[in-house]
Structure 1
Amino acid sequence: MAQITKKRVIKRLPMLPAERALKVISGRWKAVILYYLFDGPRRLSALKALMPGITQKVLIDQLREMEEHGLVSREIFAEIPARVEYSATRLGLSLEPILLALCQWGQYHADELDERSHLADCIIRPRRATEAAPN
């Protein structure tokens, strides 16, 4: 079953590496979700509370897509009621310096257009290369 899913993802993703990368992280919420998962595992309700503008359906859909692409893992705890936590995988964590660079470029872009006052703070703490680098 896992092989079928993997083949389906690979078939659906573009062959050009830059286009593939953009496809995997594109979407209104994926970077924001990853941003919050960089700090550690979170439950669905905690993620929803951090992003009041997202609907639960969209949040679940985005998490499923990122799980399918290997960026996020989902752990189900055998408790009553069941507890589910989402966390960034090693592959997901490898995006942290890229999101930091995008954040910095977004600030630069806002500066160039004299719109910096409209931006939220961009707080991403880059990890040491050994922590973020995929094997």
Structure 2
Amino acid sequence: MPVSKKEVSPCPIDAMLSVIDGRWKGTILWRLLDGPMRTNELRRSIPQITERMLIRHLQELVQDGILERHEEKQVPPCVRYSISSYGMTMVPVLEAICVWGRRHLETSHPSKRERLPSIT
């Protein structure tokens, strides 16, 4: 039986998937591997994402301790996001998911082979 996002599943795989579940979370994490970025920089680097969805995913990742939100006290306000040290523990997992996903896309969608980005 599926577990809602508000419930905590005792299954470790469900726990991990509940953190990275979301259409854009993987892409956000991949972009932030290069270093901290402002909200607008992230938005420009992922043209298909809406601002509302970006903010929602960023808030969820901060709440889960995967990202850190750094607010600089200036006018206009400047907010940067970076992967936390706890979030960096996910990098090997994300790399493994990327390898499997690439293999899956090559198998099931050979026409997309040239457009696949690399996580590393």
Q: Does 2:111 match 1:117?
A: yes
Deviation per CA, 1:2-53, whole angstroms, max 9, x where unpaired? xxxxxxxxx7432221110011111101111001111110000000001111
Partners of 1:72 and 1:109 in 2: how far apart? Answer: 28
Partners of 1:123 and 1:36 in 2: how far apart? Answer: 11
The 5-angstrom pairing of residues 1-135 of structure 1 reads 12-113=7-108, 115-119=109-113, 120-125=115-120
TM-score of the superposed pair, with normalisation by structure 1 = 0.78
Partners of 1:16 and 1:97 in 2: how far apart? Answer: 20
The list of structure 1 runs, each at least 4 consecutive aligned residues, that deviate by more than 3 angstroms after superposition, is none
Larger mean Cα displacement after TM superposition, 93-102 or 62-71: 93-102
In the alignment of these two chains, the number of paired residues is: 114
Larger mean Cα displacement after TM superposition, 100-109 or 45-54: 100-109
Partners of 2:73 and 2:106 in 1: how far apart? Answer: 49
Deviation per CA, 1:79-123, whole angstroms, max 9, x where unpaired? 11111100010121111111111111112112333x233143332
Q: Which sections of structure 1, spanning at least 5 residues, go unmatched?
A: 1-10, 126-135
Partners of 2:61 and 2:89 in 1: how far apart? Answer: 13
Partners of 1:67 and 1:13 in 2: how far apart? Answer: 18
